[in-house]
């Protein structure tokens, strides 16, 4: 479970927490909680959304507990191996701008966008995870993309 889902869980937790250490703590809490409560998992349903819902709850608990600082830019990213130094610099700048733009969005919209575009969940699965109607999730994705597009469009050419 750890090997297969840790990377995704960390990304999702960071969308909520904006802080590496807090996000990792939340993921660890979540995985242990899932392991202890595996009897509550319904095998007839997909495992990944069940686990990610636990991760989201753990991230929110950590935020409540720690009162983490808000919306710091997230600087770390893995360089793409084939990119030139100029391209990589432009892409790093784009990531910074993306993180800053994401920080302007409400948490629900950030999560909806991340889960839909980056993690490949359906809007129905996200609706179940976040406890919102599916139409709301689609609307969140739509508005989040519009905000990001407006803020990032001038920089997309440089980084591609």
Residue 127 in tokens:
């609706």
**Cβ proximity to another protein, 40 vs 44, nearer residue:** 40
CA distance 149 to 139: 15
Tell me if 68 contacts another protein by CB under 8 A.
Answer: no
CA distance 102 to 14: 11
Tell me if 149 contacts another protein by CB under 8 A.
Answer: yes
With CB under 8 A as the contact rule, which of the stretches 39-47, 49-57, 61-69, 76-84 interacts with another protein? 76-84
For 63, other C-beta atoms within 10 Å of its C-beta total 20
User: How buried is residue 111: exposed, middle or buried, by Cβ count under 10 Å (0-12/13-18/19+)?
Assistant: buried
What one-character DSSP code corresponds to residue 110?
A: H
For 42, other C-beta atoms within 10 Å of its C-beta total 8
**Cβ proximity to another protein, 98 vs 129, nearer residue:** 98
Q: Which of 26, 55, 68, 74 binds another protein (CB under 8 A)?
A: 74
Window 5 to 34, contacts with another protein (CB under 8 A): 6-7, 10-12, 14-15, 20, 23-24, 27-28, 31-32
* Residues constituting the chain: 160
* Tokens 């590496």 found at: 20
CA distance 81 to 86: 13
Cβ 34 to another protein shortest distance, Å: 11
Cβ 44 to another protein shortest distance, Å: 25
Q: Which residues bind another protein (CB under 8 A)?
A: 2-3, 6-7, 10-12, 14-15, 20, 23-24, 27-28, 31-32, 35-36, 74, 76-78, 80, 91, 94-95, 98-99, 102, 113-114, 116-120, 123, 138-139, 141-142, 145-146, 148-149, 152-153, 156
């Amino acid at each position: 479970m750890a090997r297969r889902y840790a990377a995704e869980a960390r990304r999702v937790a960071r969308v909520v927490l904006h802080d590496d250490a807090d996000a990792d703590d939340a993921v660890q809490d979540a995985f242990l909680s899932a392991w202890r409560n595996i009897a509550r998992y319904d095998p007839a349903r997909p495992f990944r959304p069940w686990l990610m819902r636990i991760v989201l709850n753990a991230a929110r608990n950590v935020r409540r507990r720690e009162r983490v600082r808000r919306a710091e830019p997230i600087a770390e990213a893995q360089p793409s191996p084939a990119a030139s130094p100029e391209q990589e610099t432009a892409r790093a700048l784009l990531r910074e701008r993306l993180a800053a733009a994401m920080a302007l969005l409400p948490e629900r919209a950030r999560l909806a966008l991340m889960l839909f575009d980056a993690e490949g969940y359906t809007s129905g699965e996200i609706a179940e995870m976040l406890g919102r109607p599916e139409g709301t999730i689609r609307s969140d994705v739509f508005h989040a993309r519009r905000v990001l597009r407006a803020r990032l469009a001038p920089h997309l050419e440089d980084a591609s």
